[in-house]
Amino acid sequence: MKDEWFFIQSMKRKRRDREIRELKTRATEKQTYYNKTTNQQLKENKMANFFKSHTSTTINGTSNIMHLADRRTQEYILQHVTPDKMYDYFGEGDDACMCESHKGYTDPEWYFKGPGDVVLGIGFRYGQPRLRGKNLQNQFAKPQEICETFVNFINTKLAEEQ
């Protein structure tokens, strides 16, 4: 009788442990799915939100980042972005760089702040457009994806103007 009782208790314990393992597995699968979906939405939705910002804290520390953009993005910038188009849609750019005209900075620059304290902008040197920015590392997306998203944002805005 005593052996039978221990046997029944051990069967109940095994069943309960199996049910707990299954619940934990289902919860882990749901959490993994949620994380993947949320991260994808963040990449798609949040990175499209750029806001014009010409404060000194935004502009200081930016540099030429054309090398981070893929070939298609670079070609778009070089062929379609001009100071006139930027001015027509975004208004006045930052002209602080123009004091260094002897270094080729003869046109204003436009800077935008994005999620994760990303700063991206369009600048011109010797009349050629350049992608400028800072804080592209350690983000939800790779620097190349951030650059592509930013240029798509610029493209959409400039296309609205036409």
Residue 97 burial (10 A CB sphere; 0-12, 13-18, 19+): buried
Full pLDDT tens readout for the chain, 162 residues: 677 877 778 888 888 888 888 878 877 776 666 555 555 555 555 445 788 888 888 888 899 999 998 898 899 999 999 999 999 888 888 887 777 788 888 899 999 998 888 999 999 999 999 999 999 888 878 888 888 889 988 888 888 755
Q: Are residues 93 and 32 in the same domain?
A: no
Give the alpha-carbon dihedral of 60, 63, 68, 73, to 10 degrees: 90
Q: What is the pLDDT of residue 143?
A: 87
Domain range enclosing 10: 2-46
The number of residues in the chain equals: 162
Residue 7 sits in the same domain as residue 86: no
DSSP 108: -
Burial letters for 27-41: b for 16+ Cβ neighbours within 10 Å, e otherwise? eeeeeeeeeeeeeee
Same domain, 42 and 57: no
Residues 42 and 63 in one domain: no
Residues 22, 100: one domain? no
Looking at residue 125, its pLDDT comes to 92
Residues 90 and 36 in one domain: no
For the question of whether the overall pTM of this predicted structure is more than 0.75, the answer is no
